[in-house]
Structure 1
Amino acid sequence: MTLDIIILFFGLGAFAGLVRADLTLPPGLYETLSLYLLLALGLKGGMELSRFPLGEVMLQAVPVVSVGLLLPLICYPILRRLGRLPAADAASIAAHYGSVSVATFAVGIAHLDSLGVAYEAYLPVFVVLLEMPAIGVGIWLARRAGVGSRSQASLAHEIFLNKGILLMGGGLAIGALAGPQGVEPIAPVFVDLFKGVLALFLVEMGFLAASRLKDLREVGVFLLAFGTLMPPLGAVLGAVAGKLAGLSPGGVMIIATLGASASYIAVPAAMRIAIPEARHHLSITLSLAITFPFNVLVGIPLYARLLTGGAAG
């Protein structure tokens, strides 16, 4: 099987991080690439959403969003009882693993495109919807254990108006309102350049993931195993949800990928406000240094092979 070129770019960044090369992108450029990917994914999804009845898509969203509610409830007792983590840490990590990684989603989409596997192009709708439920469940778990902040206004702002929700949701709305013809004039920027921008972004992601490896000593063996074994479990739940939603094999694979992913952008900001007692660097190290590389290097090719009829081979 030929490696997806996107994965090779991630490998380049990871190698640079391991040998401590000076490859960090300028902060402004990294932020720009991140904003571009969020908006581009939203626009592409919105264009396709304009072709489908909204009610039908929302009906499909019910089993998909259920994954975002269920995963934190599975993660929390594992972290508390087997890992013996404090309630604040367990709730925070559980929220990260119930939410989704936009970068992992983008890699999954690019991988299917490289294989020529079809999928429902309005899937970014589900990414936006999956950002929020896990945060709510994580906060509920923390409050139930007697930890967490009461700053409701700041928390609501982080949940509903964070960068990911605002840009991807805004892109969805613009794409849906404008339709394919309306988006056509800017398609060369937001459609044609997408995979090239993603490749550059993944160089930085590989570098960041490698730079986090030094924190693994504090994470410990249990959390290392958790960060590696939770993605396949999340992928199974995502695949079941995708099938219940009646999605195509490519769509099922993408929902499996979302279930396998862990947030490292939207959720950390919300958790810092909601659960200030948690050791937030543990969640970031798990999601960015363990789960994200696992999904990019192993998980996504495996999910594609198993769920798209061997098309990945």
Structure 2
Amino acid sequence: MEIIERSLTVPYEGVMSAPREGGDVGVLVLAGSSGRIDTERSRVLARQGAVALSIRWFGGPGQSPGICEIPLETFTTAIDLLLDVGVRRVGVLGVSKGAEAALLTAGLDPRVDAVIALAPTSLAWANIGRGVDGHIHPYRSSWTWREEPVPFVGYDDTWSPAEPEGSPVAYRTLYEHSRARFAQAAEAAAIPVERASSDLLLVAGADDQMWPSLPFAEELAARRSAAGRPARIVSSPDAGHRPCLPGESPAPPSTSYLYGGSPDADASLGAAAWPYILQILQLMP
């Protein structure tokens, strides 16, 4: 399928990829803590008939340099852009911190029809990196809504990595320890997926070493089930933090972080999730 692309600079940087003949399914594509515009993932979706919009949601002109007090209105405004081009169904596909944003946005904006959360969290977390004031500490929420901070879990500063200094670090235990230490905050920071009217697909690898995305996914699904709203989990015992969808390039190795999984396992998880992604978005098989 031939696709066309349009670059955006207002209200923030982004790329919209779409079939030349247009489409009636729009997908907001959110990268994780890299903050990049995920053009490749948008193109994969556009080739299936979606109008896919990927945005730089932090680190761009006029934005916070880190994931610190990011307005969730960033994402509702992006949904406005998709609706302006005439789509009838809106999905949000995010990975890691992008999945956190997608899940929070779905609970606030009833226009979201579907959420695909890759390597999700069930909680809202503290900032990663600097805010607009240039400071990392004290910890603040990653997100705001209507200029008020979203309840969050801070990080346990007594934690230290198990890996030798200079080696890639697995941060999974940081999140596990922080949740246990700040249990009351964690209860308040639970992402209210039971409020979202959207369909929900959760994709998680059990070998995720960045954070425990499969237990998080199971918690999200349980909260949805208790509210009478279904959620599907697609998981793999061998995949890590970076599921790779069909048509995408494998994620490059990292010298800083341990993500878990392997290129083959992450691609297998992405392939297993792919039919359900197309189904939830109501795209062509």
Query: Normalising by structure 2, what TM-score?
Result: 0.25
Task: Compare the two structures and name the one with the higher helix fraction.
Answer: 1
Specify which structure has the bigger relative contact order, considering alpha-carbon pairs within 8 angstroms and separated by 6 or more residues: 1
Task: Compare the two structures and name the one with the higher strand fraction.
Answer: 2
